[in-house]
Amino acid sequence: MKIGFMGLGHMGAKMAARLLDKGFDLTVYNRTPEKAEPLVAKGAKIAYSPLDLHDCHIIISMVADDKALENLVYGERGLLKVLEPGTIHISMSTISPALADHMEADHHMCNSFFVGAPVFGRPEAAAEGKLFIMTGCDDQLLKSCQKIFDALSQKVFHVSEDPAHAHLTKVLGNFMLISSIQMLSEALALAQKSGLDQKLFLEAMTGSIFSAPIFKNYGSMIVDKMYEKNVAFALPLALKDLRLAQEAAASARSPLPMASHVHDQVMTAIARGMAEMDLSALGKFAAENAGVSQ
């Protein structure tokens, strides 16, 4: 079975490498072909446009946002022009539920399939096959994609038969994640300014009522000031995801007041020069707001 992979950023490159390590016949595409070279050296074939993926049975997309996916699918050399009947497109990016709805309808018109399967996890988890995957598709499509999901994840959550619901799950999960890191950042800034040892405070919290990995991992990055090293979830991507949550909330007429507050905090951090930094830079931002030197 031939697999196509579009998008070789921080996450996509690690996911594609994992599939190669697991023996999949992989053809990779990236807008800048140079990013494909390490994968080609490991045995992947290279595509120079989405059109070159026409003979793949399953095509995975892992790109930054709605616009990037629209360009890959609907562009002048877009995927939709060459999809064979029965081809499965697995969307693993964080995109809007609205775009997922449109994509599903347009793939259906081509007698192909659109599967929502966004992921939770950082690039190091992707490299080890320890992502969490949220799927939206029917049982037969899930079965067709299962080997790929098994290679990439530690667990698959089948949330719906609707691809848009899978992407909504991802958007809401990222809203919860970003809001949690903002909360953690403010707490750590207050602890530091009050003279409480940050590492001991973090150890107490993560060893008791906040034991989730995100608090341990991001908390350690904040305490160690690792804002610009191992940037996997840059602040502009966090801002984009908060906007997706706000759009979904507006569409459903379901208020998300915390999303508005955190959105403005992230936007202000970016305006202060943190655009190239990781989400953990919210810790730096909160400390600066508290008048704590960094």
- 194: phi then psi, degrees, rounded to nearest 5: -85, 0
Same domain? 130 vs 233: no
Same domain? 180 vs 229: yes
Inform me whether the pLDDT recorded for 15 exceeds 80.
yes
Same domain? 152 vs 59: yes
User: Which domain range does residue 98 map to?
Assistant: 2-161
pLDDT digit string, tens, across residues 39-94? 999 999 999 999 999 999 999 999 999 999 999 999 999 999 999 999 999 999 99
CA dihedral 233, 236, 239, 245 (to 10 degrees): -70
Same domain? 157 vs 13: yes
Inform me whether the pLDDT recorded for 133 exceeds 80.
yes
Taking each helix axis from N to C terminus, what angle separates 163-193 and 198-206, rounded to the nearest 10 degrees?
140
What percent of the chain clears pLDDT 90, i.e. is strictly above it? 98
Quote the pLDDT of residue 2. Answer: 98
**CATH number of the structural domain spanning residue 148:** 3.40.50.720
Same domain? 141 vs 120: yes
Q: What is the pTM of this model?
A: 0.96
Same domain? 136 vs 256: no
Is 294 domain-assigned? no
CA dihedral 94, 98, 99, 103 (to 10 degrees): 120
- Of 132, 161, 190, which one is at a domain's C-terminal end? 161
Write down the mean pLDDT value for the chain.
98
pLDDT digit string, tens, across residues 223-263? 999 999 889 899 999 999 999 999 999 999 999 999 999 99
- Of 127, 161, 195, which one is at a domain's C-terminal end? 161
d(CA 118, CA 128): 17
Same domain? 181 vs 146: no
Is 88 domain-assigned? yes
Average pLDDT over residues 104-120: 98
Which of 73, 68, 117, 125 lies closest to 92, judged by CA?
117
**CATH number of the structural domain spanning residue 262:** 1.10.1040.10
Q: Give the total number of structural domains in the chain.
A: 2
Average pLDDT over residues 152-157: 99
Quote the pLDDT of residue 293. Answer: 79
Which residues carry out catalysis? 170
- Of 119, 141, 161, which one is at a domain's C-terminal end? 161
Is 264 domain-assigned? yes
Is 98 domain-assigned? yes
Same domain? 175 vs 250: yes
Inform me whether the pLDDT recorded for 294 exceeds 90.
no
Average pLDDT over residues 139-143: 99
